[in-house]
Structure 1
Amino acid sequence: MSLGTNNIDLQAQAVALDSAARERREIDPPQQACTLAQAYQIQRASIARRHQRGEQPIGIKLGFTSRAKMVQMDVDSLIWGWLTDAMLRADGGTLDLSDFIHPRVEPEVCFLTRRVIDRSLTMLEAVAYLEAVAPAMEIIDSRYRNFKFALEDVVADNCSSAALVTGAFSDDFRNLVNRGVAMRFNGHAVQLGSTGAILGNPLRSIVQASQLLSQAEMSLPAGSLIMAGAATAAETLTPGLHVATEIGALGRVEFFVGQLP
């Protein structure tokens, strides 16, 4: 997988992104544009390097789950990336900013799968494939300088995913539609929104995920996480914060941001 059809060294780009993430340094986007298909090849090659170092796959994350953002970026489907066990952070724990470059946080809904997702699902089938749901937050941390990138760049960069925190899981899927979302820094609301921003209903993210997996001729094992996408805009993390998100009846998830040395 060294060269793409337009003579892009896909492996070199994967190594560059993986190294930037490991070394916590920002890089410039590549000067030569790639196609979306090539961007996913770069993404998978970069994630494969993590797996080779011992990180275990735990699920996937979705991006562009907001209809408005799809229109803004001129795309007609979601983008997606991969989650590994090294990205998990404890609910109520302390986040070390030295693990990141310029991290931001956004409130999300996280699903836990009960069955293997190996084909495209309908909305009527989605719940039958799920074990539980939880309030969550994703820490995004683009490896590109100043968080500036094109669509293909962010896909290659695993959709900026860096870490995630999940709250308590529940098997009650009745409280997902149009539920209030509040993300607070030190008790002050910094983002207010609704789960309706996630494709109108977060369960639609399961349908979209199944379609993306099917198109890629891949499956997702039972016991995997699916991060459904952001319910609001992201906020920049700074030292000394207590970050908490409440999502309707789903509950609360929180973490602290440690002080820099």
Structure 2
Amino acid sequence: MPNTMEDATLDAYAAELLEAYDTGRQIAPMNGRVPAFDAETAYSIAHRITALREARGERRVGRKIGFTNRTIWPLYDVTGPMWGPVWDTTLHDIGEGPHRLPELPEPRLEPEIVFGLKSAPRAGMSEAELAGCIDWVSHGFEVVFSSYPGWRFSDADCAAAFGLHGALYLGPKLALTQSVTEQLPRFRVVLEGPRGRRLTGCGADVLDGPLTALGHLLDTLAADTDAPPLSAGEIVTTGTLTDAASIMPGDRWTTHLDGIDLPGATIGFV
């Protein structure tokens, strides 16, 4: 169903959210102040933000899927996943570090499984078929942030604010072997950081597994005629394996993976 909100109004909301991102400030959630604010309206705003970022020279290199981890839905008062673009300006290798923490409000760190696509997957594919479309798998970190004070928002607010994506840091890119494919739903992760922080999770927390999350994204994109389909060469990060951890300059965080042929990762920020 076409969005009934005036284009000029949607453009204004998109400009407001992008200006808030660029300046590092927060705004009141759209939900409650935008009439009939729903997922359709939110993605209409998000697509306009994508066009604005492309117009200023940023290049979309992939997608992030957010809130795939069902265990944290009650913590953030959300009811399901959403997605947003990953940009050439937000994609980094973990490398040696430390990295400058993006100047974004209320940043948090998420350990994730990331796929690099060698061919374009389609909605309705089996997990074996999806695995056949993947060139490499990596364990890395996404930095997310909240455009809205106190991490208080609706599902649609998150979708409008480009999936709360701030940055993506990739670890080693390894071949997606049959063994790793089978391990993805079962492996466990521990995220350890400063101030005694320790968070745990497993692959199945992410919509029953990262490949299932990829399938969900494909179904979502197929239902949105304004969303470009996934293509060969894109990167897809599949959602946090633990709760998101609040971070600040000077932090150093490490993951330990058990039950999968992928190395853990360490990232530091200044």
- Do Structure 1 and Structure 2 share a fold, with TM-score over 0.5? yes
What root-mean-square deviation, in Å, do the aligned CA atoms of Structure 1 and Structure 2 show?
Answer: 2.3
**Superposition TM-score, scaled by structure 1 size:** 0.89
The one of 160, 164, 168 aligned to 1:164: 168
Match of 1:43 in 2: 46
- C-alpha separation between the residues in 2 aligned to 1:240 and 1:11? 38
Aligned residues of 2:71 and 2:205 also touching (Cα < 8 A): no
5+ residue gaps, structure 1: none
CA-to-aligned-CA distance 1:130-166 (integer Å, 9 cap, x gap): 1111111111011112222111111100121111111
- C-alpha separation between the residues in 1 aligned to 2:192 and 2:186? 19
For residue 80 of structure 1, report the CA deviation from its aligned partner. Answer: 1.0
Change (3 A) 1:58 1:69: same
**Superposition TM-score, scaled by structure 2 size:** 0.86
- C-alpha separation between the residues in 2 aligned to 1:119 and 1:195? 21
Moved more, 243-252 or 141-150: 243-252
The one of 189, 204, 210 aligned to 1:202: 210
After TM superposition, what 4+ stretches of structure 1 lie above 3 angstroms from structure 2? 67-75, 186-189
The one of 215, 223, 231 aligned to 1:221: 231
Match of 1:81 in 2: 84
For residue 119 of structure 1, report the CA deviation from its aligned partner. Answer: 3.8
For residue 95 of structure 1, report the CA deviation from its aligned partner. Answer: 2.9
| Counterpart mapping for 1:64-213 below 5 A | 64-68=67-71, 75=79, 78-91=81-94, 92-97=96-101, 99-171=103-175, 172=177, 173-174=180-181, 175-186=183-194, 190-213=198-221
Matched length: 255
For residue 7 of structure 1, report the CA deviation from its aligned partner. Answer: 5.5
Change (3 A) 1:163 1:98: closer
5+ residue gaps, structure 2: none
The one of 224, 228, 244 aligned to 1:234: 244
Aligned residues of 1:135 and 1:251 also touching (Cα < 8 A): yes
For residue 63 of structure 1, report the CA deviation from its aligned partner. Answer: 1.8
- C-alpha separation between the residues in 2 aligned to 1:124 and 1:118? 12
Match of 1:243 in 2: 253
Give aligned-pair identity as a percent.
25
Match of 1:32 in 2: 34
